[in-house]
Chain A
């Protein structure tokens, strides 16, 4: 039997030592009618057979399309050493570091991860990670409600529509009121935001770059919010922070984001990495695990899980969140990835992505009938207006070997002809050229 070491003889010996004559005797307290009858699942197969079966399924997925699809989830290159190091089973077969002396590897790596998230976002404290960018944003909203004692959230419609949907689901059973502010010409509408913020508002949530690819400086929005005693929550794309102003220097109070682009494969939607950072004064209201520095009995530096009085295993129904785990292994991948890139590398990478996107905008904007719709500055993603339904164009582009982008009509009514196009360092000039030609051919 796979993965079971003990032989029949050993089992017999063990049952004898336990003092029972059979396994069934161990379960004698359980009434017979509770046992299941026949369970209808197939018999086990060998590793070879299962591997072949799954390889066939893997082959039925078209991962060979040239990817211009983003929407918050990006096709970045992952250096080999990220896989090699995070693939060390000392990392991936360990449990939560509840016994710190036996877990310094994980604990120090997470402490370094927290540090690097602070440095990227310009914030004072980051937690050990949350499930993904969407749940991190939901947790941030709850946190703001908790801190302010207010129950209204102003939500910029430039926030990823998937995350906005998640916010609505999560708050359904709690008395939270949302006001969504339409983006105007691809940018957050200051006039409407100012009008929406009031003394009942816990926080305003915005995204940078926004879902349409527009980059913004939200310092003025933060000022407006703070003037009304509201907190500010920014969802950010970490690679962009190699180039653009970090939310910390805009005065943002809580920063969250999806860390998938930091060396984590797309993997059909997960596992990903939600990061969260805030100001030190809010640390006790922050959800999730947190690693802190301390000393051992000899005064030597070491790391432990700390401020656990916030968490569910201590506070139960009074905890800041019900979250119990983090995405530790994904956080380890992120710190490895960011260590490889380093200070210059993250800037170079961000510059390459932004420049290539600029090139693509110019190239695609030349196609007859195509208009670059994002007129605000962009980072690596922008919106095109096509002369026809973007979802039909995307479907035709699939046949030509491209995942051409995300048709915005799926989430924004009236934007049926709009296509969101993402560029990473992986897209060569030739690929952008071929994409343009394919699009020209279709239109």
Chain B
């Protein structure tokens, strides 16, 4: 059992060193009345620096990570995170820069390097997805969605449009309906058809003058591309409903197809997916939002402008802006990594990304389709969704398959999503994995399928190779222990 850091605490042990106050400083009394003081200092652990180093080093070893393991987690695009991006983000000229500096008079000239990074990143993203302007401020994909919905609301409000609804397919990520609701809209769910795409008849039935936007992921969460996208866009635009692109799956079409050309009005990207910034164990991410010209007036405060003399400045006074959605300019450290990634890959590199991602995904699909059910049996894009229904008949669920993969040294695919597929297993290999790595994953999946037929009982004790066995999630809900 891993002890908690608090359980390693020994009274009066220290892990820090602080500068001494000088005598003249010490002479200054704090003018804080005693009632403002804490009665006791907070109970932080009392441990040495080595205690801390060993504790967190050992904790890190309990993680399965992309750097150590194949991580085909569908919809999450777990591609290799280049080390160059890490080193550049840690450069002192970037890492120690105070965000309020450009707001000081004359301060903008002191952050020209950082502002240039942001401005160039905006331009590159515009070109890559075919939009007219980008804001880099949203700090995650869901934050981008909310920003996008706020922009859409501002657009309709300004035009005097009476809009109340947002249409979302049933295969969408949960953030879509949630963001639309928080943006003040009612969500209408549109079912998928037999091909896994949004049902066009149901869509047309739901589409009327009260629809503010349609939120789509393309290719969708089943890894399928909707060939009717132009028709869909035309119908939406006919009632002044805007088309929103959830960029979760941009890796499938990067450098080949641009959402802007397909008719999308607003897009959000997940730089932590498509643009290779590390996922950090669940964040920080970055979810920039791109728009077509008609939405530019509403973009969040501030925007970066390039002056005629080639210098960069921040502009705050914009009458129609939705206002502040982040304190500053977004997750700068993450944006910087994505910028470096784009520079390293360049035009050709970006289009090779989607090509290899799609080949790798289809290769896995071809090799596993005999042993696992494929609910939508057509060419996939960058990921494929299998179902463990066949194995479940023997009592081996998608969850069991996942745990068996952990024991074989792989991070499992995304399971039980999308919600419309029973026993879903969503496999996204990404472009950075080699054929050999993918082959050994395929081998493991085939072994597991065979074992599911011969020895289904053995699965329930898995995983066996980790420091703990399967955890009781219901007990956590019941006990409600969230801290010590």
Contact = CB atoms under 8 A, between A and B. Distances in A.
Contact of A242 (B42, B352, B437, B461): B42
Contacts, number: 691
Contacts of A304: 471, 473, 476
Contact of B175 (A106, A244, A324, A332): A324
B111 A18 contact: no
Contacts of A81: 49, 52-53
Interface string A64-103: 0101010111010001010111011111111111111111
A325 B417 contact: no
B22 interface: yes
Nearest to B464: A101
B434 A5 contact: yes
Of A87, A91, A102, A345, the most chain B CB neighbours within 10 A belong to: A102
A30 interface: yes
A291 interface: yes
Contacts of A50: 84, 88, 340, 343-344
A173 B330 contact: no
A104 B175 CA distance: 25
Given A30-B227, A53-B343, A58 B73 contact: no
A345 B48 CA distance: 12
Interface stretch (B95-103, B202-210, B234-242, B444-452): B95-103
B84 A19 contact: no
Contact of B278 (A72, A92, A354): A92
Nearest to B339: A54
Interface residues of A, number: 207
A347 B38 CA distance: 10
Interface stretch (B257-265, B288-296, B386-394): B257-265
Contacts of A403: 98, 101, 104, 107
Contact of A301 (B1, B67, B178, B180): B1
Given A100-B471, A346-B42, A34 B262 contact: yes
A95 B73 contact: yes
Contacts of A215: 32, 36
B297 interface: no
Contacts of A355: 21, 25-26, 28, 30
Given A30-B227, A169-B150, A135 B107 contact: no
A283 interface: yes
B349 A2 contact: yes
Nearest to A277: B483
A292 B475 CA distance: 9
B471 A47 contact: no
Given A63-B92, A104-B63, A377-B36, 4 more contacts: A5-B433, A61-B94, A117-B483, A163-B327
Closest 10 interchain pairs by CB? A44-B346, A58-B93, A269-B328, A173-B184, A329-B280, A169-B323, A271-B284, A269-B99, A60-B113, A5-B434
19 contacts: A28-B379, A29-B225, A34-B262, A42-B343, A81-B53, A95-B66, A96-B76, A97-B281, A97-B282, A102-B412, A114-B482, A266-B95, A270-B330, A271-B333, A294-B472, A317-B180, A342-B46, A358-B29, A394-B105
